[in-house]
Amino acid sequence: MKKSLENFMELAFAYIIIFFILREWLEPVMQLTNTGVGYLFLIFIGLSLALSLFKVPPALSGLVKLGYITWFVIFVYSENPFFSGHTLPFLTNEVTWNMVNIFSGNFGQVSDPFRTVLFLVLIWMLIYLIHHWITVHHNIFYFFALTVFFIATLDTFSEYNGKAAIVKVVVLGLMMTGVLFIKRLRLQVDVPSDIFKKWKIILPMLISVALVSMVAFFLPKTGPTWADPVPFIKGVTGQNGVGDGKKTVGYSEDDSRLGGPYNGDNTLIFTTKSRDRHYWRIDIKDTYTSKGWVLSNEFMGEAVFENDTPIQTSLQVGSRENERQIELDFAIPMPFLIQTYGMLSVSAKEPTLYIQDAQTEKIVTKQQSGSNQLLSSYTLIYSEPNYSLQELQMSEPVMLETLDSSFDRFLQLPNTLPKRVQDLTIDITRDKASVYEKIKAVEGYFSKGNYRYDKSAAAYPAEQQDYVDQFLFDTKVGYCDNFSTSMVVMLRSIGIPARWVKGFAPGNAGPLSDGYREYQITNNNAHSWVEAYVPGTGWIEFEPTIGFSGAVNINYDVKNDTPKQEDVLQPQEKPEQQPKKEQTAKNSSATSTFSLDSVWTWLKSLKYVWLAILALLIILAVTLFVQRKTWIPKMQVRVYRKKEADWTNFETSYQALTKQLVRIGLSRKRGETLRAFAERVDAALETEEMQKLTAVYEHYIYSNNGQDVDFVKLRESWEYLINRTIS
């Protein structure tokens, strides 16, 4: 009892240290990927360690972890409670959507919940390995060294500052290594454990490590012996901020030269709590130069607004009955307004003038004296517009011919634009009847082609090369600027007015509280998208970038026997039950009614996937058949080890052995006695164990009575023979 408690305390101490080391793994990942709710990941780490500590059976432990992962996904990514009728359709939709994308090779289209599940499973596996290293090998050095290397690499080549983390990991790792070394020493030396007086050794060791580490941390230090290699590496690769080096992500007013890689920047810009998911609009650009965006040389006037007065824009707004408010809190105040779609007015604590440029629709904030006003917070009053799908589909291309000259600047294209850009657009939209359907066809084109979202792999176009043409036909790799600019140019090439919009994507979603979800918007969320003009409706936002989903509201008021995938809704749903957001196909199907018919239709549509699965099953079956001489006996050994040692199980195990001998070509000949067969087997396998087993087996069969035998030794002989047949 004393020894069990002692082992439990040792393991608990080790797991506490492991928890804090894993926390240092998790923190930079959360920062660099802008992932919120880090505390939920820490809870999962603690839960997994606790289950291992208390030796919970694997089946029960797995159920607990799977239950937590399921709750995690519902809590973070679903607006509905865990115990609700929406949970199963949500999970079914996520599994369906991600499996389809994985089997079709669209790995960039997997959803955030799926990525989260994979990350949690990775943590699960890592903790299992750590448990094995601690309890079996009593050595954690490689994990400790890998952690130091991981943090040092991020500290050197990213924005993460790992100075304090490295110190903490070194201290914790040295403590852990010392404790496990004493544990191994006890096991290797054949002396009573009380001679070591281990706690009299461990405690001074822990105190010494802590004191030495504190002294080393606070003592003055000399400079580095060698120069920092990172600037040299960046200079050699053209990443030193000059020429084609990487830029830092974030909102910028200069878009005259697009392209090239970006460095990430997770600097917080503002936070907000909202019932809705918003794209944060700042301004638009109208003139494409083949290299980037500039403004046309025309002044179109300004409009001035004050607090709580209606603000007029070129965009539609919703009804007054659906008015809502959003309060924005800025970590970095900016001299312009962050707008949302459906914005009606703005209210700030300070007296402020809001001056809107009619050309860019950018709204700057000024004091009454005329100087810039940097607001730390303000409230937006908005009512999101709800567009009728029926009206959108009535937008005939001939209606574009009646547009006045004010739309000319949104049809501008350089004379040098290669004709194949227009040819591609015509081919994409050839069978689309309405303007809206043509726009949606271009928007969805990128997710169906071989395009890839990557901030670090984007290239600059050559001197005589068009930025859009390069992306569409050559590189097919880029980020939001590539996708959005290409869509605008493609739409303009077939006569549809379109404009390039800049601002911020919705941001990093936090937990839901009282119907409001917190969003954190950082420089990494700087984004560009498209606004296109649909005759009869007006300007509508569209999202062509892979991995992003738009935030436009569509009223699905069209009855169609064969609805498009992105427009699915059951006809009997009431208007107030219709979805608030138009998203990708996976999100739309999540709001549709779950039925066995829809599942069966989906299954039938994946015939190539099922053929691939069938082929894999056939390959697996053939492999198992070919390797049956190896895996069948191994399974038999595991089964018979768990059975009680008696005559009945001995007889069945002997018969299983003879079948295995047949598989390797040692079958009993016709008329051959068991004893002669056993001698031949022993000669072939170079043993004497078959004759021992056969003698006992013959006595049991022919005398019909048992004798006192050592079943443990018989089982050892049987296992030895089985292993010989495998080798």
pLDDT in tens, 498-525: 999 999 999 888 877 887 888 999 988 9
What average pLDDT does this structure show over 167-188? 72
Contact criterion met (CB below 8 Å) for 400 and 358: no
Contact criterion met (CB below 8 Å) for 498 and 488: yes
Give the alpha-carbon dihedral of 104, 106, 111, 112, to 10 degrees: 140
Residue 484: the pLDDT is: 95
Residue 83: the pLDDT is: 80
- Residues facing 248 on adjacent strands: 263
What average pLDDT does this structure show over 328-353? 91
Residue 244: the pLDDT is: 40
Contact criterion met (CB below 8 Å) for 45 and 123: yes
The 10s digit of each residue's pLDDT in 58-73 is 889 899 999 999 998 8
> Computed from CA positions of residues 347, 380, 341, 387, in that sequence, does the dihedral angle turn out positive or negative?
negative
Residue 501: the pLDDT is: 95
606 or 497, which is more confident? Answer: 497
The 10s digit of each residue's pLDDT in 530-547 is 999 999 999 999 999 998
Contact criterion met (CB below 8 Å) for 417 and 485: no
Contact criterion met (CB below 8 Å) for 376 and 252: no
Residue 20 clears pLDDT 60, i.e. is over it: yes
The 10s digit of each residue's pLDDT in 75-84 is 888 777 878 7
What average pLDDT does this structure show over 629-657? 74
Residue 4: the pLDDT is: 65
Dist CA 704 CA 640 (whole Å): 23
> What residue ranges do the domains of the chain occupy?
2-218, 627-726
Least confident of 506-515, 593-602, 641-650, 659-668: 593-602
Indicate the average pLDDT of the chain.
79
Least confident of 177-181, 210-214, 553-557, 571-575: 571-575
What average pLDDT does this structure show over 681-688? 83
The 10s digit of each residue's pLDDT in 341-381 is 999 999 998 899 999 999 999 999 998 888 888 898 999 99
What average pLDDT does this structure show over 661-685? 83
Q: What number of CA atoms fall less than 13 Å from residue 336's CA on the CB side?
A: 17
What average pLDDT does this structure show over 138-156? 78
Q: What letter represents residue 640's amino acid?
A: Y
What average pLDDT does this structure show over 129-145? 78
What are the CA-CA distances from residue 403 to residues 49, 388, 400, 541 (Å)? 66, 21, 6, 19
The 10s digit of each residue's pLDDT in 410-429 is 999 999 999 999 999 999 99
Contact criterion met (CB below 8 Å) for 107 and 101: yes
| CA nearest to 548, candidates 468, 481, 602 | 481
Distance between start and end Cα atoms, the chain: 42
Residue 629 clears pLDDT 80, i.e. is over it: no
Burial 95-118 (b: 16+ CB within 10 A, else e): ebbbebbeeeeeeebbbebbebbe
The 10s digit of each residue's pLDDT in 190-204 is 444 444 455 566 667
pTM: 0.49
The 10s digit of each residue's pLDDT in 226-261 is 545 554 444 444 444 444 446 677 888 888 889 888
**Environment class of 344 (CB within 10 Å of its CB; exposed 0-12, middle 13-18, buried 19+):** buried
3-state class of 302 per DSSP? Answer: strand
The percentage of the chain sitting over the pLDDT mark of 90, rounded to a whole number, equals 26
What average pLDDT does this structure show over 94-101? 81
Q: What letter represents residue 173's amino acid?
A: G
Residue 53: the pLDDT is: 85
The percentage of the chain sitting over the pLDDT mark of 70, rounded to a whole number, equals 80
72 or 634, which is more confident? Answer: 72
Q: How far, rounded to the nearest angstrom, does the alpha carbon of residue 222 sit from its chain's CA centroid? A: 42
Dist CA 521 CA 111 (whole Å): 19
Dist CA 143 CA 151 (whole Å): 12
635 or 583, which is more confident? Answer: 635
Number of CB atoms found within 10 A of residue 657's CB: 24
The 10s digit of each residue's pLDDT in 579-624 is 333 344 434 333 334 445 555 555 555 566 666 777 778 877 877 7
Contact criterion met (CB below 8 Å) for 437 and 393: yes
Tell me the H-state helices in 562-606: 585-591, 596-604
The 10s digit of each residue's pLDDT in 378-415 is 999 999 898 988 899 899 999 999 899 889 999 999 99
Least confident of 280-284, 398-402, 474-478, 599-603: 599-603
**Two tokens, residue 616:** 């894999």
Residue 326 clears pLDDT 60, i.e. is over it: yes
Residue 566: the pLDDT is: 43
Quickly state the pLDDT bin for 164 (edges 50, 70, 90): confident
Q: What is the CA radius of gyration of the chain?
A: 34
